[in-house]
Chain A
Amino acid sequence: MDNNISLTLKVWRQNDAQDKGRFETYKLEAVSTDSSFLEMMDILNEQLIGEGKEPVAFDHDCREGICGMCSLYINGRPHGPDDDVTTCQLHMRKFKDGETITIEPWRSAGFPVIKDLIVNRSAFDQIIAAGGYTSVSTGGVPDANALPIPKPDADEAMDAASCIGCGACVATCKNGSAMLFVSAKVSHLALLPQGKVEAARRAKAMVGKMDELGFGNCTNTGACEVECPKGISISNIARLNREYLSAKLQD
């Protein structure tokens, strides 16, 4: 059951945001195929520390595919070759013995590199801050069962709300568009009566912020939907466009 493989890694190294950056090549022997991709990165870093070199900086946290912290562009695909997983859930059994793996950070104007494979995704927080919420304060709200919500609507809202904010959609988009991320939030809230109240206003505010932060336009290539580790559908983008249009018509 336990198989070991040897790998050649081409890893992007960049000291800080100002540094130009370059690829470095490392050899790694006897990596168990049961280990996760990030455990393989841990093994690489232990090796580098042993050699007195600086380990590779990469973002990661929960390692169970939900926090959205891990990123990595692996062999040209965000979150690597497996479907419907984040990098932390990708396992080395998806790679062959002797394979060369290229590891890069998210590449997008909206996500500048901080160091090595770590990028700055605070733009997503700014987009949420622009309107990705219901404007209710703590306390003084009605009973949770006061408003029945049809199960299909609640389920669809849940699907849209599954977005983990990792940024794979932006990283894979040739235009560097954040439309899938924005539309998932707009859909999640617009589908529920609690969020419907300010749906048009929200769409306008979030799209405005997205444009301001330098994300590109959507040309419906659908790459985002393919690479999304949580299977967020591009039908959300259609809903966003509807809400946005209705906001514009109200202007």
Chain B
Amino acid sequence: MKLDSKIPEGPLSEKWNNYKAGQKLVNPANKRNLDIIVIGTGLAGASAAASFGEMGFKVKNFTIQDSPRRAHSIAAQGGVNAAKNYPNDGDSVHRLFYDTVKGGDYRAREANVYRLASVSNDIIDQCVAQGVPFAREYGGLLDNRSFGGAQVSRTFYAKGQTGQQLLIGAYQALMRQVNAGTVDMYTRTEIVDYVMVDGKCRGVIARDLVTGEFSRHFGHAVVMATGGYGNTFFLSTNAMGSNGSAAIKAYEKGAAFANPCFAQIHPTCIPVHGEFQSKLTLMSESLRNDGRIWVPKKKEDAEAIRAGKKKPTDLSEDERDYYLERRYPAFGNLVPRDVASRAAKERCDAGYGVGATGLAVYLDFKSSIERLGEDAIRARYGNLFQMYEKIVDDNPYKEPMMIYPAIHYTMGGIWVDYELQTTVPGLFAAGEANFSDHGANRLGASALMQGLADGYFVLPYTIQNYLADDIRTPRMTGEEKEFVEAENAAKAKFEKLMSVQGNRSVDSLHKELGLVMWDFVGMARNKKGLEEAIEKIAAIKKEFWTNVKIPGSDKGMNVELEKASRLADFITTGDLMARDALNREESCGGHFREEYQTEEGEALRQDDKFAYAACWEYQGDDKAPVMHKEDLNFEVVKVAQRNYK
């Protein structure tokens, strides 16, 4: 496998300009004859599909939801970063770039991150033009707030519903193209495989989730933008339908899967409360602007709280340990997510946790409410407080919230070059689905930035450079043998699932996988545990293929069958994550190997050995994948141990 990152020549700040100046373009008359398939309608997929349509390409856009507006980008709460420097607090493209590389613990590709930072301002302009109702000051100009890992206020927001508003902006742009006839929209349709013709990706096999029927679709190029694989853990902040299947299908077709072990554990989620729990709910990181995180200073107090004998409000200031402010005075409650998550785990493991299970810490708004008043807090976070109250049945204006880390985002994903093309020619990956920008840890409010950057401002350029060589390639009909064979293979896989007829429900197997992932491939990992995880995942795989129970038939709508086909791919993902975590003998960002930590318990990187992206190549079912390295060369950033103290 050849990993050519295709980083353009020139100084870092000029690379993107140099690329655009030298790239190939497709003229308007030819665009009409070129088809692009886009899988997914989240921020990356919808913005790409809309932009391609506006440019004049013929687009087919697929979503498993009933409407493109349901994609999980909609649930992002806090905001979107950009280097506008409107608050005049010292921000710049360079600083946003630098913070992102540092926040990612020096495991991202410099050139991609710099481009991301440099198009960030265009995103805000674009969204405002679409009518995204960002928060404003009384003077009528845009307001900003701070997020973790930054010392400037560069986050634009729309209440606690920023993802919703950005997605609806992209969705509306997309529907405008549907109306114009440039985009054909396929809802409740899942992509079950890619079609390869002469070594290039030329289409997809789709399954209609309502009828169960398969169909073949040709594209001169295919873009997959289907998000991350956090649901491998069963319990995560992802939506129930979020899945990594389009990524695994790409991997099985020869696309390298990079850094699968880089998963982000978000520090502020509502704690787990029972076995029947179906998902974890995030409380936006923006809350850390005004909330202070603490646990009791004395173990006796923690025990009394767990037993229900004391309330958090009974404890005086002296009896509280604001451990983030204590350990990281410079960044305090706004340290990056991986640091905050590990610090919470450390306190709970040491016996200071609260809540019935002891797996929770407090996020307290008392000082902010005293300082700013309840109304100001309500204006900033009203919808989040309401959500918390509905779920937990406690009033966070009176009592501190209880939070605990949970799986939230996956930095790893399908390997892409500078053009966002995978190792499969003609197959591109965008948004959370690719691996490129966040290294080993993503900073808050950067996921929305990356999704929209890829879709609005990167792919519309880079895909032309690929398609310019295809202007003489005629459309295929779908009757070619490659399409027929791919459809038959996909059908056979679904028939195989239906034929198992065992005794275990899909969810029960998925929960079992999730527990193995959380226990061994979660916030703290070690060699022995990871080796054990690989064995356990293999056992779950065997159990799945011999004992899964799917009621009903493969004709018509069958939700259990959909879930089973996705779980088969989550099992593959889980195995990849464990292997990658085992290989990476260092701690960096969201990947914490217990064997590699400083005396103070901070992550200890091994730059001499692991300053690379680990790219896994599929070798066939039941064969161990082969790892290839893309070395990361830092020309501008000075690699150092992250210091938020």
A→B interface (CB under 8 Å): 1-2, 15-16, 32, 34-36, 38-39, 42-43, 46, 48-50, 52-55, 57, 59-69, 82, 84-85, 89, 91, 93, 114-115, 118, 120-122, 124-125, 128-139, 141-145, 148-151, 154-155, 157-158, 161-162, 164-165, 188-189, 192, 194-195
Q: Are B239 and A137 in contact (CB under 8 A)?
A: no
Contact A121-B240, Cβ < 8 Å, known A91-B391, A138-B50, A144-B84 = no
Contact indicator B176/A129 (Cβ below 8 Å): yes
Q: Is B51 an interface residue (CB 8 A)?
A: yes
* Contacts A/B (CB < 8 Å), 25 sampled: A16-B556, A39-B277, A42-B276, A46-B508, A55-B560, A61-B70, A61-B240, A62-B75, A62-B239, A63-B240, A66-B161, A67-B70, A84-B386, A91-B391, A131-B179, A133-B130, A133-B172, A134-B129, A136-B173, A138-B47, A138-B54, A139-B126, A141-B125, A150-B140, A164-B164
| Contact (Cβ within 8 A) B278 A34 | no
> Which residues in B have their C-beta under 8 angstroms from that of A130?
179
Whether B282 sits at the interface, judged by CB under 8 Å, is yes
- A60 — which chain B residues lie within 8 A by C-beta? 240
Besides the contacts A2-B274, A82-B390, what 12 more A-B pairs have beta carbons closer than 8 Å?
A38-B278, A53-B551, A62-B74, A62-B239, A62-B240, A67-B70, A125-B67, A133-B130, A137-B173, A138-B47, A158-B159, A194-B131
Interface of A is mostly: loop
Nearest-neighbour CB distance to chain B for A124, whole angstroms, equals 7
Interface size class of B (residues with CB under 8 A): 35 or more
Q: Are B557 and A118 in contact (CB under 8 A)?
A: yes
Report the separation of the CA atoms of residues A38 and B507 in the bound assembly, to the nearest whole angstrom: 14
In the complex, which residues of chain B have a beta carbon less than 8 angstroms from the beta carbon of A139? 122, 126, 456-457
Q: Out of A39, A136, A151, which one reaches B138, CB within 8 Å? A: A151
Minimal beta-carbon separation of B543 from chain A (angstroms): 16
Which of A16, A43, A154 has its CB near the most chain B CB atoms (within 10 A)?
A: A154
In the assembled complex, the CB of A196 is this many whole angstroms from the nearest CB of chain B, namely 10
- Does B178 reach chain A (CB closer than 8 Å)? yes
Ranked 5 nearest A-B pairs via Cβ: A148-B140, A133-B172, A141-B129, A158-B133, A137-B54
Is B137 part of the binding interface, using a Cβ–Cβ cutoff of 8 Å?
yes
Report the bound CA distance from A55 to B549 in whole Å.
Answer: 12
Select which of A16, A57, A62, A134 is within 8 A of B130 by beta carbon. Answer: A134
State whether B274 touches A34 (Cβ < 8 A): yes
Chain B residues closer than 8 Å to A64, beta-carbon distance: 75, 279, 281-282, 387
Beta-carbon contact of B273 and A133 below 8 Å:
no
CA–CA, A43 to B556, complex, Å?
A: 23
B372 at the interface (CB under 8 A from A): no
Q: Are B390 and A68 in contact (CB under 8 A)?
A: no
Instruction: Give the docked Cα–Cα distance between A148 and B142 (Å).
Output: 8
Q: How far is the CB of B288 from chain A (nearest CB, A)?
A: 19
